[in-house]
Structure 1
Amino acid sequence: MNYLKSFLPWIGFAIVSTQADWRWSGLVGLVLAGGLLATSRRQGRGWDSLVIELSALIFFAVLTVFSFSVPDSPLRDYVGALSDLWLAVTAWGSIGLRRPFTLGIAKTTTPRELWQTPAFRRVNLVITTVWAASFTVAGVAGSFLLGYAPHATVALIVLKVLGFAVPVAFTIRYVTLVRARAQKAA
């Protein structure tokens, strides 16, 4: 469950964006991302376990500058979907670089002797792929929903929640299954 902390800026942003102007939700995301990143580094976490936090800092910095510079931009209506698509690009990019973002997070709770095993890498590739796919689906579906039914607030909230809940549930279940299989094989 360590990885859930990584998403606090995104969750805070999503909550504030339903209540406030996009400029303020972006600023809240930026402050949360900066605080989380600084706290995590002070606690000794390595950069490889902070991919989502760093991605959040970049996204919210750009969003904050842009939203205050061009407050009436039509992008303001799509910022929720854009945040999912940014996370999708982050996740797919980490896979493309052969460094799935979950690797660094998993290392914080996994014995060092397992870090270089093919099984450890494969498990994290699968988990990161599920996160990437979920963000992609949420971002694309959110974009279409906003384009065709922009006032479907409940559907947008459900989509946003599912975009996080599905990969969280999968991660918990998959890790439990893999550990059980490894113990059975040992």
Structure 2
Amino acid sequence: MRTEPKGTASGPVAGFLENPIVGMAPWIIFSLLVGPGRFELAVGLALLAAVALIVVSRLVNRGTSWKLLELADVVFFASMAVVGLLASDGTRSWLETYAGEVSNIALAVIAFGSMAVRMPFTLQYAREQVDPSLWHTRGFLRTNYMITGAWGVAFLVAAAAGAYGDLVLHNPNNIWTGWIIQILAIVAALKFTVWYPDVARARAAREAAGEEPGPTNWAGLLLPLAGLLVPIGIAVLIFDNMWWLGVALIVAGSLLTKRLSSES
């Protein structure tokens, strides 16, 4: 049974806006767009997205609670916009190079910090989609800790990849560190957010029935990631000099997708 606050709308749009993935959209936009010559564009679009999501959410879901993540969205990107406007050319150049890593680290801190204070940021969204009787159950809390942790890890990976491209390769637009690894990390977290609750519910149902835990269906998580290997391989063929790696990724992606499809 789902309970809804008084005045809160229901339906696909309302449910979409109450998804924590939506709250992370400004960060994803910023981390993927920012780079030399693109700081103003990235921070402007991220701030616009953050404000628009709050306004639309309040119009559609009247009475919904304020979320830590959406407040952090506005504060962080408004601050970045002000700094960008007032900063010297040298500071702006530094931001264009490293702001992506700063934003990824900031979101990782929010994720792990919210877990440390026993309020994983996905919990505020999840509570508005389930009956209050489930709010303090072990399975419900564990699911939110796992999903929040997955996002924290994803943004740490993205930050590390970006830092390696900037500090070691001295190439913020490197196809691997600037794009492929970061996109894969985000897609993996997105898929985990969708996949893990079903796994947790299946496990809880078996425990309630007094049955032994069954094997985890990892194919459901890995299949979309395997499918990404094909377009990644094509991108490597086009934009990188390692044609053999591009071919290998396309072949591996095709074979893994076929294998995992048969297991899912």
* TM superposition score category, shorter chain reference: 0.7 to 0.9
CA change 1:21–1:8 in 2 (3 A) is same
Where in structure 2 are the equivalents of 1:87-102 lying within 5 Å? 87-102=107-122
Q: CA RMSD in A?
A: 2.1
Any gaps of 5 or more consecutive residues in structure 1? none
Runs of 4+ in 1 over 4 A off after TM superposition: none
Where in structure 2 are the equivalents of 1:129-168 lying within 5 Å? 129-149=149-169, 150-155=171-176, 156-168=178-190
Structure 2 partner of 1:52? 69
* Letter aligned with residue 134 of structure 1: A
Asked if the contact 1:33–1:53 (Cα under 8 Å) also holds between the matched residues in 2, the reply is yes
Where in structure 2 are the equivalents of 1:31-180 lying within 5 Å? 31-42=48-59, 43=61, 44-47=63-66, 50-70=67-87, 72=89, 73=91, 74-149=94-169, 150-155=171-176, 156-180=178-202
SS of the residue 1:46 aligns to:
coil
TM-score scaled by structure 1? 0.87
Structure showing greater relative contact order (alpha-carbon pairs closer than 8 Å, 6 or more residues apart): 1
Asked if the contact 2:111–2:149 (Cα under 8 Å) also holds between the matched residues in 1, the reply is yes
**Cα drift, residue 97 of structure 1:** 1.5
Structure 2 partner of 1:29? 46
Percent identical residues? 32
Any gaps of 5 or more consecutive residues in structure 2? 1-15, 209-264
- Count of residue pairs brought into register by the alignment: 184
CA change 1:165–1:145 in 2 (3 A) is same
TM-score scaled by structure 2? 0.63
Structure (1/2) with the larger helix percentage: 1
Asked which structure has the greater CA Rg, the reply is 2
CA change 1:139–1:16 in 2 (3 A) is closer
SS of the residue 1:108 aligns to:
helix
Asked if the contact 1:88–1:136 (Cα under 8 Å) also holds between the matched residues in 2, the reply is yes
CA change 1:174–1:6 in 2 (3 A) is same
**Cα drift, residue 124 of structure 1:** 1.1
CA change 1:28–1:87 in 2 (3 A) is same
